[in-house]
Amino acid sequence: MKGTQMWTQIIMVIAASQLLFFTAASSKSGSGDNQLRNKPSEAVLIETGSGGAESQAVTELLGKYDPPIEITSARIVDATYKYNTGETIENNIWTKAYLDELGIKLKYDWVIGNDQAEQKMNVAFSSGHMPDFTLVNALQLKQLADADMLLDLTDIYDMYASPLTKKLHVEVGTQALEAATIGGKLMAIPESGATIENAQMIWLRTDWLQKLSLPEPKTMDDLFQIAEAFAKQDPDGNGKNDTYGMFLSKELLIDGFFSGYHAYPRFYLKDASGALVYGSIQPEIKPALQKLQDMYKAGLFDKEFGVKPFDKAAEDVKAGKIGFMFSSMSSPIFPLKDSKKNDPKAEWSSYPLVSTDDKPALAQTPAATIYNYYVVKKGTKHPEALLKMINLYAEKGYGEHPNPVYFINNGVETFKYAPFKVWPPEDSLDTQRSIAAALQTGDTSKLRMDQRNIYDMIINYQSNGDVNDWEMERVYSDKGSFGILDQYLNENKQIKSAYFGTPTKTMALKGSTAYAMEIETYTKIIMGAPIDEFDRFVDQRNRLGGSQITQEVNEWYMKQN
């Protein structure tokens, strides 16, 4: 399908799927940017100039173009992006490294915030004015590939991905690269990471807990009592009724709450027969929605949550109005650090998910962590430059001589500046284990340079109270959030999605509409609509393509086994 009809279809999918794109981005951006074989295909002609020094240089995996080349891309930034003096998203330690070490001048066609990105991407894609390299989500990848806008990267990946880059991509399996493969061709480079880092946990104001003499949460009932107290017993002591128990925004990013009811929205899991079912329409969802409705009526979270995107709702965290939130291990970086900087007495600690009964709550994790995909516009002169920049990221972070200033410098997350990344699946968790051991023994001799840098930041906070280093202590110390993830792994308290493929045919056409219907129905129920609205939603979703999507997912699943 080409022309107007195809671009109309693409715009519809992009418009409805932006929430998924930005949710994934901010989940990683919490850790910062919140952090995935080949099959034979036709040969791809790579244009490298007319020979001489340039042709020789591009055959090297980290070789420098001489003269330099210019590559275009685009950036979406959010409130978590901070900059060292003199640096911007267009001019920073990474853009300088691309030019100085690779001979690549990176130019952004546009840089924009999350709130305006949807419209900007719609216009850019519909007009055909894609940058050379673009970050897209799974639905956009499928639609752009179907529109014949993307370059097949199979041979380019084989030729230009460094051994380290390839190792990081397949260290825990080939699912990430398989998810970027369409019709036997590698149509994108996945941005991937550790699946466990997506798991939610409870982040709670322990100073409020102590002030109100409340026990730490062991069950969902404990959490409800805490929410009630935080909302109604003036935990901040200002004499006003201006606090909430739980954080909630319009995206409903509270998978950890649903896990307490053994419900798994936006997730494919096996039923008793071994078939895959969509978690958002299972009966376990209903009691969770009913409880959220009860909490809404009781004023335990912001009654305007339905119109507040995550970044806007996070202003209440900064202002000291929120008692706890379900979020990832990286939340101290954003938004909790803003709370701590605004009120140094604010103490946030992480806790594992809790359950409504004696059955453990399982944290949702994907089968393969694929945040988004890097695609190359068909006709781009130097497609291999994408792999060169990814290779450089791998070497700076995880090569023989890592350089931590490219990742954290003066307390600023400089790794966010890099538009093209690859993440080791379990590196962050291994880093936490090493740092925790060093904190307990005082022996830093076994720490890598980047790990020692984080260790020093933790010591600086613990010894000097430097709030700029607080988030590292909350994430990487022996009492940090990675310890919760370790607990999930050791006690088998995670559940992985059974589906990791690119969107099926019906999912690409109707999945975003179904998802919008899901969010709308959940929100209405939370705000007081009859709980039976859930059953009507399930029936309507199935009739409008949901059943067909599930059938296609199961057809895909049968081919994997």
Please give the average per-residue pLDDT across 517-540, as a whole number.
97
Q: Name the pTM for this structure.
A: 0.76
- Rounded CA-CA distance 526/300 in Å is 12
Residues facing 192 on adjacent strands: 370
Tokens of 218: 């062991």
> Whose structure tokens read 């001589």?
401
CA dihedral sign, ordered 460, 463, 466, 472:
positive
Higher-pLDDT residue of 62, 406? 406
Amino acid identity of residue 428, one-letter, is S
Q: Specify whether the CB–CB gap between 127 and 109 falls below 8 A.
A: no
Q: 462-496 burial, b if ≥16 CB within 10 A, otherwise e? A: eeeeeeebbbbbbbbbbebbbbbbbebeeeebbbb
Residues facing 191 on adjacent strands: 372
Please give the average per-residue pLDDT across 315-325, as a whole number.
97
Phi and psi at residue 124, to the nearest 5°: -65, -45
For 337-393, write each residue's pLDDT tens digit.
999 999 999 999 999 999 999 999 999 987 655 568 999 999 999 999 999 999 999
CA dihedral sign, ordered 276, 168, 405, 68:
negative
Higher-pLDDT residue of 225, 411? 225
DSSP string for 420-447:
S----TTHHHHHHHHHHHHHHH---TT-
Alpha carbon 439 to its chain's center: 29
Of residues 17, 22, 53, 19, the one with CA closest to residue 139: 17
- Rounded CA-CA distance 89/76 in Å is 10
For 172-204, write each residue's pLDDT tens digit.
678 888 888 998 999 999 887 677 888 999 999
Angle formed by the axes of helices 3-29 and 114-127, to 10°?
Answer: 150
Q: Specify whether the CB–CB gap between 288 and 261 falls below 8 A.
A: yes
Please give the average per-residue pLDDT across 520-529, as a whole number.
98
Domains of the chain (ranges, CATH numbers) = 3-195+369-417 (3.40.190.10), 200-327+499-561 (3.40.190.10), 427-493 (no CATH)
Angle formed by the axes of helices 3-29 and 505-526, to 10°?
Answer: 50
Please give the average per-residue pLDDT across 102-120, as a whole number.
85
Note the pLDDT of residue 124.
Answer: 78
Of residues 90, 55, 89, the one with CA closest to residue 69: 55
Q: Specify whether the CB–CB gap between 429 and 475 falls below 8 A.
A: no
Of the ranges 32-46, 109-123, 140-154, 294-308, which one carries the lowest mean pLDDT score?
Answer: 32-46
Whole-Å CA distances, 183 to 41, 44, 145, 213, 500:
9, 16, 10, 59, 15
- Rounded CA-CA distance 189/499 in Å is 19
Tokens of 369: 């962590």
Note the pLDDT of residue 350.
Answer: 97
